Amino acid sequence: MNADLGRLLGEVGAVLLDFDGPVCRIFAGYPAPQVAAELVDVLRRHGVDVPPDLASEPDPLEVLRRTGAAGDHRIMRAVEDALCAAERRAVETAEPTPYGREVIVAARQAGMPVAAVSNNSAGAVTAYLAAHRLAGYVTPVVGRAYAEPGRMKPNPEPILQAVRAIGMPAGRCVLVGDSLSDIEGARAAGVAVVGYANRPAKVDAFRLAGAGAVVTSMGEIAAVLIERAGG
């Protein structure tokens, strides 16, 4: 038993889940580098002189961030629209994370609200949850602010938006995320955080960043919540 995890989950009343990682691999069947390249093509079609490092960027969210930093709102909206459409296609072939569903169901059985807080679009998250019969378990769904990438995590705003919607103090909520932006955003929001280290290199990085607990499988979280629900 992960003592840190058991203690942390025993002190909270609501679960906030990042989407891409803890719930599923959104780009499992529609690779992120392909989506990023398509966004770069959008930039080029709008006359943007794309630097080499951006042309080879494999993360579509980073392409979005870089576009936002350039400050052209017309181009920003075009890239945002293309990414939203790509994410909606991607969820059709997304790969569920082992035990992600069990975490959601067990939390609700334990009487804990479950929210999704994602840097992906809310439409894509909602479509995935509906397709996997999880929509009734997860509310609210807080996705990426439209064409405002500066408001994505690690900005604490989307986390706090979910906290307000749930109606529980931030200190009684826990965010489960698989990136440093999740951990940084949660700490800034005053929310407890569990780092889901789906790659070995993340374990030490998450601990150093201040995660209250670190797991390498969502099954560890599910086990604690199932025990809580049964109790």
Which of the four pLDDT bands, split at 50, 70 and 90, describes residue 93? very high
Check pLDDT > 90 for residue 2. no
What are the pLDDT digits (tens) for 17-28? 999 999 999 999
pLDDT of residue 1: 58
For the chain, the domains span 3-26+94-230, 32-92
| Topology, domain 3-26+94-230 | Rossmann fold (3.40.50)
Question: pTM for the full model?
Answer: 0.97
Contacting residues for 227 by C-beta, under 8 A, at least 6 apart: none
